[in-house]
Amino acid sequence: MSEQRGFIIPIGGAEEKLRDQAILRRFAKVAGGKHARIAVIPTASSLRETGRNYARIFEGDLGVREVQVLAYEARADAANDEWFSFLGKASAVFFTGGNQLRLATTIGGTRVTDLIRDRNRDDELHVAGTSAGASFLSEHMIAYGEDGGVPRADKVQLAPGMGLTQLAIIDQHFVQRDRLSRLLSAISYNPRLIGIGLDEDTAAFLDPNDCIEVVGSGAITVVDPSELEASTMDSAHRAAPVTVTNIRLHVLTEGATFDVRTRKAIPPPRR
């Protein structure tokens, strides 16, 4: 068993697929480049062509050796031995966007997610997810939430995710949909976790040492509650605003890093 795990790569959605495919190209490189074997899981999407579109990018544009679309549409599909065999030899998994609850209810708790989690933990598999796929990667997942406004007791609803990391809770389309307040609400329940808010076309490459590197055209907002002094989440009435004090916040652009263990942010090198 390895002492380190594989990469975990949440993407904020709407990543560039035609011109500068920086995020997908970096993911393919981490996965093994031309020798990679990538499993695309489009379960979150209601569009049948979603998985095939990503497969064309990985194989055609990025020259990946082997890509297979594993279209889990019902829990019974987890019994598909051919797909399970490919997962067992894949170097990376890519979860598409859509609805994170479709992922959780379709493959959560099956041998599929068990295998992905075990192989990622043993540094045999790298796992990426975009949009809904990004939210699903962590132990605690934002299932629903309201955009905009201020943190409130009923602002966000959490559900179990896949559990690749227990250190962070992830939100996506962050600036585009004004989601700071719902991420703050989620963190206010229990300040053990950091919050990671991903703009569109922006990814957090979380390496085996739990250090994030930002890749993409937008920014990542990191909410660090390690020095939180007070939260009124326990006493706030439903729909009432919540007080949180002494929250640290970082906005990080491409090339910046954040060490999740030490909570240290480093700006990108000067160009």
* pLDDT tens column, 34-47: 999 999 999 999 99
Which one of 3.40.50.2000, 3.40.50.720, 3.40.30.10, 3.40.50.880 gives the CATH number of domain 8-266?
3.40.50.880
Per the residue annotation, which of 126, 188, 200, 250 is the catalytic one? Answer: 200
- Whether 188 is catalytic: no
| Separation of alpha carbons 164 and 58, rounded Å | 23
How do beta strands 202-206 and 211-216 pair?
Answer: antiparallel
- Whether 135 is catalytic: no
Per the residue annotation, which of 91, 131, 135, 181 is the catalytic one? Answer: 131
Residues ≥6 apart with Cβ < 8 Å to 160: 104, 108, 139, 140, 141
Tell me the percentage of the chain whose pLDDT exceeds 70. 99
Per the residue annotation, which of 173, 185, 188, 213 is the catalytic one? Answer: 173
pLDDT tens per residue, range 98-154:
999 999 999 999 999 999 999 999 999 999 999 999 999 999 999 999 999 999 999
**Single pTM value for the model:** 0.97
- Whether 200 is catalytic: yes
Chunked into runs of 10 residues, the chain (271 residues) has average pLDDT values of 83 96 98 98 97 97 97 98 98 98 98 98 98 98 96 95 97 98 94 96 98 98 97 92 96 98 96 76
Would you kindly state where each structural domain of the chain is located, as residue ranges?
A: 8-266
* Assigned token pair, 94: 């890519």
